[in-house]
Amino acid sequence: METMPVLAWFHSVAMEAESKPTACALEPRFDALRMDRVPESDGLPVIQFQRYANGGVTPSEETLNRVELVLPTTKATYDKGPKCETGVAPLWLALGGPMVAVRSVMNWYDEGVWKLHLTGAAFPQLMFAVTDPILPRELIGEYLPQWRHDVNRNPLTDAIDEELVEIEMDRFVVLVALFRMSIETGAAFPIMELVVTGLLHKAVYDLFDEWGIARHVKVYPEIMRDHQRDAVAKGFETLENMQASRAAKH
């Protein structure tokens, strides 16, 4: 999780500087912009962007602030997530934030969904408010029994591949938050599993390739999904063993 903000920040710096996302291209470009926009920074050490190109080194607060002076909005990418049409998407919060805070992603996404949550709406009602525009619930009911975790049988995967549905970053982020809530509460996990798996085939690359984090964003929900699958399977196994044990006693 620590790698993603660094990679996204590095790529946001390159985008704002109109540079290729490589250290050798970015360093001279940034230095020229720095001298033009913040001339009083002359004499400060050169920022060595190659340290951050692979996400292995975390930029200091001083480095983030120095870059922000030259290229505003880049620090928000490091702190919250990539820029989107509505501002800055709270991707880091949705993926790895505390559950109490994860719910606030709904407030960022849509006031109507947030009001549903505040009035105590059941989780499926919140979920369908977000999923209905991209995957009607009748299709969910049709495909859920037969998809068997096969991405080639996932209706959302097909719709995205055929460009029948476009996934915006804000919807992707709130779906990740809802996915985590479904795991936490056990509510509607099979449906959220179907939906999120459908996002991780093509949409994740369309949205996050330019930020250098597509593979990381893909893997993180997959790990959460697979852990939950294992937990559900073990729960059923335990239940079956208990039932078999009771039957044997009679």
Q: What is the dihedral of CA 139, 144, 147, 148, to 10 degrees?
A: 170
In 3D, which of 169, 32, 25 has the Cα closest to residue 11? 25
Q: For 17-57, what is each residue's pLDDT tens digit? A: 999 999 999 999 999 999 999 998 888 888 999 999 999 99
Taking the C-alpha atoms of residue 101 and residue 94, their distance in angstroms, rounded to an integer, is: 9
| pLDDT at site 249 | 67
In 3D, which of 182, 162, 179, 161 has the Cα closest to residue 171? 179
In contact, 127 and 116? CB cutoff 8 Å: no
- Residue 164 pLDDT > 70: yes
- Residue 172 pLDDT > 70: yes
Q: Give the tokens for residue 211.
A: 């930020």
Q: For 227-237, what is each residue's pLDDT tens digit? A: 988 877 776 66
- Residue 224 pLDDT > 70: yes
Torsion sign (Cα): 160, 163, 168, 174: negative
| pLDDT at site 42 | 81
What mean pLDDT value characterizes the chain? 93
In 3D, which of 189, 197, 191, 192 has the Cα closest to residue 230? 189
pTM of the model: 0.90
Residue 97 in 3-state DSSP?
A: coil
Q: For 53-84, what is each residue's pLDDT tens digit? A: 999 999 999 999 999 999 999 999 999 999 99
In contact, 116 and 129? CB cutoff 8 Å: yes
